[in-house]
Amino acid sequence: MKLWGGRFQGGPAEALARLSVSVHFDWRLARYDIAGSRAHARVLASAGLLDPDELGQILAALDDLDIAVETGTFRPVIEDEDVHTALERGLLERLGALGGKLRAGRSRNDQVATDLRLYMRDNALQLRQAIVELADALTEQAALHVDTPAPGMTHVQHAQPVTFGHWLLAHVHPLLRDLDRLQDWDKRAAVSPLGAGALAGSGLPLDPPAVAKELGFRESFANSMDAVSDRDFVAEFLFITALLGVHLSRLGEEIVLWTSYEFGWVELDDAFATGSSIMPQKKNADIAELARGKAGRLIGGLVNVLTMLKGLPLTYDRDMQEDKEPVFDAIDTLALVLPAMAGMIATMTVRVDRLAASAPVGFSLATEVADWLVRQGVPFRDAHEITGQLVALCSVRECELHEVSDEDLLSVSPHLTSEVRNVLTVRSALSARTTPGSTGPGPVSDQLVSVQEQLKAWKKS
């Protein structure tokens, strides 16, 4: 059942056959390959290479084969080299010699490039839906905490007070960019390679634009050599999934921190946490940790494909068999991680009391003092120095900024009058942030509405 071999006197060595086989992983392209075969059969008929009766028989056999693949009653066997070989065997079993006519005018080179694009475009839609669900879960939590104070951090050190809703929405925006990237990727992936043949096009009167239209592509290829050798769409997709994995990893890392005893800001629902086989008290954020860990394999898939492609001459080379498994793995990995992350976020309980208590700790209101001095006419360079001296005094005395006496304030600088106390509260710090995109409750509410509208539009797309 090999699709090649006419010039060979004997069969391939077992070692070659074992290395060459790909049907164990490319079988998931079977139904997409059948869809391409239907379109190709119609084009062959339009070109006068199949009569109406032959076309009807082939389409009926393809429909029957499609059902058999879907139900599992037709499966590849060990002798099938790849998905194309297996499906041609199935067609020949149903049609005899007539099934061999379908191979005219196409090659496995343009077939597999078409199948993979169809598969990836289809699964990218499902990936987008899963991203929206996670973004939705984060947004719903953010809506509950528009004005919940939290200790914003840089370098994992207390920096300035923020609202927890603002923090949660900061994880939504990367996901929205991931959605944009997937949509933009689809524009370039929606090009049909079918009709490019092995590399030179076809001497038969085929109609690649008609095939492209039937299969849902935006257009057909412009250069047959590029059509069979292009794997930009694979590399770009894997970049998007790798970056998405990084975004999930960063969120996962924060969940791990937030649920630790030292932070104690978040409690996970029992359904989305695990325990220890030896320590009964443990409640582990395994979903977050797995998301963090699986980012490595997503990044690895991108590196794998880029490294494989970097030295290939045009056009098709068998190295390109390595393009599919990283794609399949990325899709399978994210299909597991995204729903788990969404469920974990949607059901977690935020400890508002712990967040509020932590918000002013670590001199996080120091910037408010410096800004207050600026409003009094003090140059920021001097205001920064004065505030730093006040922090140093508090560090020595082991007290917070608002606990310093009026006398001590003046001892640091005559500019530090008692009126500075008006800004030494978390609420005043947050309410002062009124500019668009900042962490005050007002801007966060506006941001929330914008994010909700964007997610609503994605759900409709």
* Per-residue pLDDT reduced to its tens digit, 334-386: 999 999 999 999 999 999 999 999 999 999 999 999 999 999 999 999 999 99
- Pick from 382, 297, 372: nearest CA to 334: 297
- The pLDDT assigned to 237 comes to 98
Q: Can you tell me the distance from the alpha carbon of 167 to that of 150, in angstroms, rounded to the nearest whole number?
A: 9
**pLDDT tens by residue, 312-339:** 999 999 999 999 999 999 999 999 999 9
Q: In which element (H, E) is residue 279 found?
A: none
Average pLDDT value over all residues in the chain: 95
**pLDDT category, 20, cuts 50, 70, 90?**
confident
- The pLDDT assigned to 11 comes to 72
Strands 349-350 and 191-192: unpaired
Paired tokens of 383: 């205001």
By CB neighbour count within 10 A (0-12 exposed, 13-18 middle, 19+ buried), where does 434 fall? exposed
| 446 has a pLDDT exceeding 80 | yes
- The pLDDT assigned to 78 comes to 84
- The pLDDT assigned to 15 comes to 86
| 6 has a pLDDT exceeding 90 | no
**pLDDT tens by residue, 408-444:** 999 999 999 999 999 999 999 999 999 999 999 999 9
Q: Can you tell me the distance from the alpha carbon of 397 to that of 126, in angstroms, rounded to the nearest whole number?
A: 57
**pLDDT tens by residue, 108-120:** 999 999 999 999 9
- The pLDDT assigned to 4 comes to 55
- The pLDDT assigned to 17 comes to 80
Listing DSSP states for 176-233 in one string gives: HHHHHHHHHHHHHH-EE-TT-TTTT--SS---HHHHHHHTT-SEE-S-HHHHHH--HH
CB count in 10 Å sphere of residue 457: 11
**pLDDT category, 93, cuts 50, 70, 90?**
very high
- Pick from 184, 188, 304, 176: nearest CA to 244: 176
**pLDDT tens by residue, 120-145:** 999 999 999 999 999 999 999 999 99
Averaged pLDDT for residues 138-153: 98
**pLDDT category, 183, cuts 50, 70, 90?**
very high
| 276 has a pLDDT exceeding 80 | yes
| 301 has a pLDDT exceeding 70 | yes
| 8 has a pLDDT exceeding 80 | no
State which amino acid sits at residue 151: P
| 449 has a pLDDT exceeding 80 | yes
- Catalytic residue numbers? 155, 276
- The pLDDT assigned to 195 comes to 96
Q: Is residue 102 within 8 Å of 58, Cβ to Cβ?
A: yes
As a whole number of Å, the CA-based R_g of the chain is 30
Question: Where in the sequence of the chain do the CATH 1.20.200.10 domains occur?
Answer: 118-144+165-185+222-358
50 to each of 40, 101, 203, how far by Cα in Å?
A: 11, 8, 16
Range 118-144+165-185+222-358 classified under CATH 1.20.120.550: no
Q: Can you tell me the distance from the alpha carbon of 387 to that of 384, in angstroms, rounded to the nearest whole number?
A: 5
Percentage of the chain beyond pLDDT 90 is 93
Burial 49-71 (b: 16+ CB within 10 A, else e): bbeeebbebbbebbeebbebbee
**pLDDT category, 2, cuts 50, 70, 90?**
low
Q: Can you tell me the distance from the alpha carbon of 219 to that of 212, in angstroms, rounded to the nearest whole number?
A: 6
**pLDDT category, 16, cuts 50, 70, 90?**
confident
Q: Can you tell me the distance from the alpha carbon of 362 to that of 217, in angstroms, rounded to the nearest whole number?
A: 57
Angle at 149 between CA 145 and CA 150, to 5 degrees: 105
366-460 homologous superfamily: Fumarase/aspartase (C-terminal domain) (1.10.40.30)
Q: Is residue 231 within 8 Å of 306, Cβ to Cβ?
A: no
**pLDDT category, 228, cuts 50, 70, 90?**
very high
Cα 184 to its chain centre, rounded Å, is 13
Averaged pLDDT for residues 158-184: 98
- The pLDDT assigned to 360 comes to 94
245: phi then psi, degrees, rounded to nearest 5 = -60, -40
Q: Which fold has domain 14-104?
A: Fumarase C; Chain B, domain 1 (1.10.275)
